[in-house]
Structure 1
Amino acid sequence: MQKDCDEMTYYARLFRMISQTKDESFRLNKAEEVKGIWKITVILSLVSMVIYGIMAFLGVGSEEISKNGLLLSSADFEASKLWFVLGRMFYGLLFAAIVIFLPSLLFYLLTGVPYKKLVVIQHTALIVVLVERLLWIPLALFAGLSWYVSPLSFGIIASYITSIPWFVYFFGAISLFQLWIIYFQANFLAKYSDVRSRFVWLNVILIHFLGWVIASVIANVDSYIISGWFG
């Protein structure tokens, strides 16, 4: 009886869905109860805050502050860097919440798969995204590359085609990590929901497309926001 009860309960764990995707997806689909999602959500949110805080502390994305450094007093410049780090940490928290909960809601409305199970799927997606963010750090520090011209994204190809910032940002948001996430999400939803596979894939790609558009818009206005705060 205890064994049957355990088989009906899925315990969310970090990295398990990545290392044992097929088996874990099957167990998650069969489970009648999902436990541990809030613990994992809190952990990933804190990790996201730390990663974005480290990136800001190391100066990744702080070009506008550096430009205005000579115009500020030492105290004002240090204060601006502190607010920049705190702002990025808050962004990291907001980013984690959006990645975990918003697609889960959209996928729930699309397929009817239980919301908690979709949150587990988004935990995995967020882990992959955060790994990508970590790879941005050495690329920025040692190669001088911004995120949108990462060799793992299509932005570097777009930069050779055009100098239009929005266009480069858009394709810079499309990376090998993002393509894996699309495959992972669509494959799970198509296999374990009653919705037609083509419809699932189309909608998952559309949701990511809208995300890339939003990311490119935010990147395009980010420098104006920073210069307005710290200029």
Structure 2
Amino acid sequence: MHYSYLLGLIKAPNDQLYRIERKDVIERQWKIQLLLVIMTVLIYVLMSVLGMGSHFHSHHITDLSMSQYTIEQLWFINGRMVYALIIALGILFIITYYFHLLTEIPYRKLMVMQQVVLVAMLCERLLWIPAFVFLGLDWNVSPLSFGIIASYFTDRPWIINFFGSITIFQLWIIFFQVKYMKKLSILKTYKIWLIVLNLYIFLDVMAAFITYLGSILQQGWM
């Protein structure tokens, strides 16, 4: 039963959403939550082993000895593991609480929604891996994002990073969340749209700012 909500929303979303709406209490979801957190960490470890996200400190690799390089790689992988934990817990708990406060939808019902969101995000990361390995494309110019389109119109990094944060998967997630919460909430549809869009605008701006700041710091170190 722990897995039925998530799998049901993936296989038959309309039917499962109706069941969730009718259900008074959602059972504890700690097993699937733990599984999703572990999957997130493993995927980010794989990405770090492949060198994804390591460009900020790659400029001084040639100056390192083999032992220093190994130690730096281990620190990088550990850092990505912590980052993966923050991402997974943020999606499953913090964002769930944000929606709960603003919509008053039961917390566990929103947690099921966020499980689907995390699965979609992990699928996006897995699809980014071959784009990076075979084409050398970073996340902000991935074929799945709008960053590659923005790069044809401007060379400003912060603009490219902002549109690079907006992906096809993110648009699907937004529509899915609006549909899900519209079914369970008494709020008007436009209010749900505002709640969701405000969140993602904030997250995309923060992602663009952090990436841009990182590139500025990298130039300073060089």
Q: After TM superposition, is the score higher than 0.5?
A: yes
Q: Contact (CA 8 Å) 2:92, 2:118: kept in 1 or not? A: yes
Task: Answer yes or no: is 1:155 the counterpart of 2:147.
Answer: yes
Q: Contact (CA 8 Å) 2:21, 2:183: kept in 1 or not? A: no
Q: Deviations over 1:93-121 (max 9, x none)?
A: 11001111122111111111100110110
Q: Deviations over 1:194-220 (max 9, x none)?
A: 101111112211111111111112222
Task: Give the corresponding residue for 1:145.
Answer: 137
Q: Count how many residue pairs are aligned between Structure 1 and Structure 2.
A: 221
1:199–1:122 CA distance, 2 compared to 1 (3 A): same
Q: Deviations over 1:59-91 (max 9, x none)?
A: 112123332111112111111011101110110
Query: Partners of 1:107 and 1:215 in 2: how far apart?
Result: 20
Task: Give the corresponding residue for 2:207.
Answer: 215
Structure 2: 5+ residue runs without aligned partners?
Answer: none
Query: Partners of 2:190 and 2:57 in 1: how far apart?
Result: 46
Task: Give the corresponding residue for 1:37.
Answer: 29
Task: Answer yes or no: is 1:196 the counterpart of 2:188.
Answer: yes
Q: Could you tell me which of 62, 81, 85 is aligned with 2:73?
A: 81
Query: Partners of 2:94 and 2:24 in 1: how far apart?
Result: 22
Task: Give the corresponding residue for 2:17.
Answer: 25
Output the TM-score relative to the length of structure 2: 0.93
Percent of paired sites with the same residue: 40
Query: Partners of 1:226 and 1:98 in 2: how far apart?
Result: 27
Query: Partners of 1:51 and 1:224 in 2: how far apart?
Result: 28
Q: Contact (CA 8 Å) 2:181, 2:192: kept in 1 or not? A: yes
Give the SS at the match of 2:26.
strand
Query: Partners of 1:84 and 1:223 in 2: how far apart?
Result: 17
1:45–1:36 CA distance, 2 compared to 1 (3 A): same
Q: Which amino acid aligns with 2:148?
A: I
Q: How does 1:94-113 map to 2 (within 5 A)?
A: 94-113=86-105
Task: Give the corresponding residue for 1:91.
Answer: 83
Structure 1: 5+ residue runs without aligned partners?
Answer: 1-9
Q: Could you tell me which of 58, 70, 73 is aligned with 2:50?
A: 58
Q: Deviations over 1:36-65 (max 9, x none)?
A: 411111111111111111000011121233
Q: Deviations over 1:179-206 (max 9, x none)?
A: 1100010111112211011111122111
Q: CA deviation at 1:223?
A: 4.7
Task: Answer yes or no: is 1:174 the counterpart of 2:174.
Answer: no
Q: Which stretches of structure 1, 4 residues or longer, exceed 4 Å deviation after superposition?
A: 223-228
What CA RMSD, in Å, does the superposition of the two structures yield over aligned residues? 2.0
